[in-house]
Amino acid sequence: MTDFSFTRKINYYETDRMGIVHHSNYIRFLEEARCKMLDFYKMPYSAFEKQGIMIPVLAVNCSFKQHVTFDDVIEIKPFVKDFNGVRLTMGYKIIEQKTENLVLTGETKHCFTDLNLKPIRLQKQIPNFYDKFMDLK
C-alpha cells in the first residue's frame, strides 16, 4: 500500500447551487490523484501512451460520506487495491484537511490495452512498471 497523497483546494466552479462540490467532480479528483501518483512512482501516463498502451476506466464506484465546499482543501489518497497485470483496481480516500473528516471512499477499475483496445499483459509490455505495481499492491 502506498503512502502517496495529493492535496488540492476546491474551486468555486466545482460547486453547485447549494454551494457544495457537485458529485460529478469527484471522478475528476480521483483521476487527478491517480495521474499524480503514477508520476510520483515514475510511471506517467505519457510513458504508457508512448508504448501504445491505454488504461481505460471500466468502472467507478464512490460512497459519499460528507460534503465539501468552495475553498476547502482535500487530501486524496489513492492506492493500488488489486492488480494482476491485465486489470488494475485503484482505491481512494478523500479527507477534508482542516477537520480530517472522511469525505469519500471509492474505487476505479481499469485494464491495460493496446491502441485497438485489445487487453495486454503489462508484464510483457513494460516489465518494470509491472514490478512497480506489484510492489504497490
Per the structure block, which three cell numbers stand in for 48?
Answer: 504508457
- Quick one: 133 exposed, middle or buried, by C-beta within 10 A (0-12, 13-18, 19+)? buried
Is the per-residue pLDDT at 40 higher than 70? yes
Find the domain containing 62 and state its range. Answer: 6-136
Asked if residue 1 belongs to a domain, the reply is no
Asked if residue 74 belongs to a domain, the reply is yes
State how many domains the chain has: 1
Q: Each residue of 64-98: pLDDT tens digit?
A: 999 999 999 999 999 999 999 999 999 999 999 99
Task: Name the pTM for this structure.
Answer: 0.93
Q: Each residue of 53-64: pLDDT tens digit?
A: 999 999 999 999
What one-letter code names the amino acid at 95? I
